[in-house]
Amino acid sequence: MRNPFPDNPVFQKFLGLKDYFRKFTTPESVRRTRELARVARILQKTGEKISFDLLGSVNFGMAVENSDVDVVMYLDCGHEEEARYDNTPMLRIYESLFFATILREVSNNPFRLQIVDFINLRRLDRAIREPGFDDDIIARFVFYRTICRGVNKPPIRPYEKAIAGNKELFRRIEETLTAALVELTRSSSHRLSFHKYVSRLQEQNVKIPPSMLEKIQDYLNLTANG
């Protein structure tokens, strides 16, 4: 979704760097995104409504052969509870059976997939219709949709449209989501990822402008210093 926090410097820096690296998207990033889209289409044939958001190197277009793929799953769980293994059996089936099996079928080079969060679309729908029911699930949805790369997006577009232009909602959750993004970017793994992305471009003989290197360093300094 379009950045709902256009004047927020933390989101501006993150999204600006992501846009830069995506100009040099690797074939491996394209392959994995396409294969996950095929997985989503196969799963939808079972009658499920399913979408993904991708984080990490695929999100930045910098995936290589040994990269893992971190995924947020959107699924209609058939109830309005938080999506968990103990109340949504399909989650464990998808993770332990379908993903392993289907990825082997659609991919010539299967990759390691890690599901980092689940969003129950039925609960999200109620949260959007009933303010105060569950602000956390809306905040998570907005966060992922703002910073991630979506796969098979049609099932989640109605929810984006339902909250588009809700300035009061975005104002209410901006501070929380900014803190979440800062927490993410403070991690050593995230900082290491940026050094890897720069190295991968240099290995391709891409000349990174000094101004962009300064922006990367400024971003890392910003997140390191809070």
Count of C-beta atoms within a 10 Å radius of residue 88: 20
Domain of residue 206: give its range.
9-225
Give the integer Cα–Cα distance in Å for 18 and 90.
33
pLDDT at site 2: 85
Asked if residue 1 is part of any domain, the answer here is no
The reported pLDDT for the residue numbered 91 is 86
* pLDDT recorded at residue 223: 57
State which H helix or E strand residue 11 sits in.
helix 9-22
Number of domains in the chain: 1
- Asked if the structure places residue 3 within a domain, the reply is no
Residue 59: closest CA among 22, 11, 97? 22
DSSP 108: S
Q: In what order do the strands lie in the sheet with 113-120?
A: 113-120, 69-75, 50-54, 149-151
pLDDT at residue 208, rounded to an integer: 95
pLDDT of res. 186: 80
2 lies in a domain?
Answer: no
Going from the first residue of the chain to its last (226 residues), give the mean pLDDT of each consecutive group of 10, the final group possibly shorter.
91 95 96 91 84 95 92 94 90 77 79 90 96 94 96 95 92 93 85 93 94 91 58
Residues 112, 56: Cα–Cα separation, whole Å: 13
Query: Could you give the 3-state DSSP secondary structure of residue 142?
Result: helix
- Cβ burial of 132 (10 Å; 0-12, 13-18, 19+) is exposed
Contact yes or no for 220/194 (Cβ under 8 A): yes
Q: What is the pTM of this model?
A: 0.92
